Structure 1
Amino acid sequence: MENTIEAAGWRGKLNEGLAPRQVEALIYACADMTCKEIARVMGISPKTVSQRLDDARFKLGMQRTVRGLCLEAIKRGIVAPLAVIILINCCMTQQLPAVRRPPSSPRVAQARVNRRGEYELCG
């Protein structure tokens, strides 16, 4: 059995204390979808979506809003955007080359003193 769910550009981990359908509803909520939109995608009623999100909210520590639920799930590593996961995987597989700069001579500061009425023409 697979341990992740991918939907709407997000990946959710199973076996982190939430049921698979709760994780799926949470993923869609993290993708900034409303209960009606989530219900349409999952093929269930909006009331069922709301109940699943409420159950997930209870399991993750009684968050007050869906936004708080999403933030808590991201903080715990239950859900993450796929773009971040892809970026992390790419960085882990190959190291970036070190930046090599040519040795330079020590920099010397130059200062000009101009008195009132004296002008230098640069040209």
Structure 2
Amino acid sequence: MANTISFGSWQGNLGKGLAERELTCLLAVAAGHTDKEIAQFDGLSPRSIKGRIEAAMHKLGVYKRPALVAEAMRRGLISPLVLTLCAILIGHSISSTDEFTRVRRPGERKVAETRTYRRHECALAVA
């Protein structure tokens, strides 16, 4: 059994109080799906999906769907994959030595400006 579950553009972490099916339904709710759509995806009845969502609400102590998603995000149970991707890209840009992807700090030598200046010097020397 994996520690993370993905549904659409959302990712959830198991082992923090919710069962796997409850977390899957929670991720689908966060993605904006209705009970009927989730039931068609899982091959279950809409009533059983509603029961799983209500069980997740009870475990997190909330009673409305928007509050369920907000509380799950606050507790770190779910997160949008966009945030994960942004964190990976930021980490790569900080640790990279590549001039095009690295974040430059003030006062660092900028290679592009140096090259442009040298081309200008060469043009003046030829003329």
TM-score range, shorter chain: 0.7 to 0.9
Whose helix proportion is higher, 1 or 2? 2
What does residue 66 of structure 2 align with? 67
Structure 1, gaps ≥5 residues long: 102-123
In 1: Cα distance, 2:107 partner to 2:7 partner: 42
What does residue 76 of structure 1 align with? 75
Corresponding pairs, count: 101
In 2: Cα distance, 1:78 partner to 1:93 partner: 25
In 2: Cα distance, 1:65 partner to 1:29 partner: 11
Deviations 1:53-101 (A, max 9, x none): 000001111x121111011001111011101111112212331221449
Identical-residue share of aligned pairs (%):
33
TM-score scaled by length of structure 2? 0.74
Structure 2, gaps ≥5 residues long: 95-102, 109-127
What does residue 111 of structure 2 align with? none
Asked which structure has the greater CA Rg, the reply is: 1
In 1: Cα distance, 2:88 partner to 2:21 partner: 26
Q: Please list every run of at least 4 consecutive aligned residues from structure 1 whose deviation after the TM superposition is greater than 2 angstroms.
A: none
In 2: Cα distance, 1:76 partner to 1:92 partner: 23
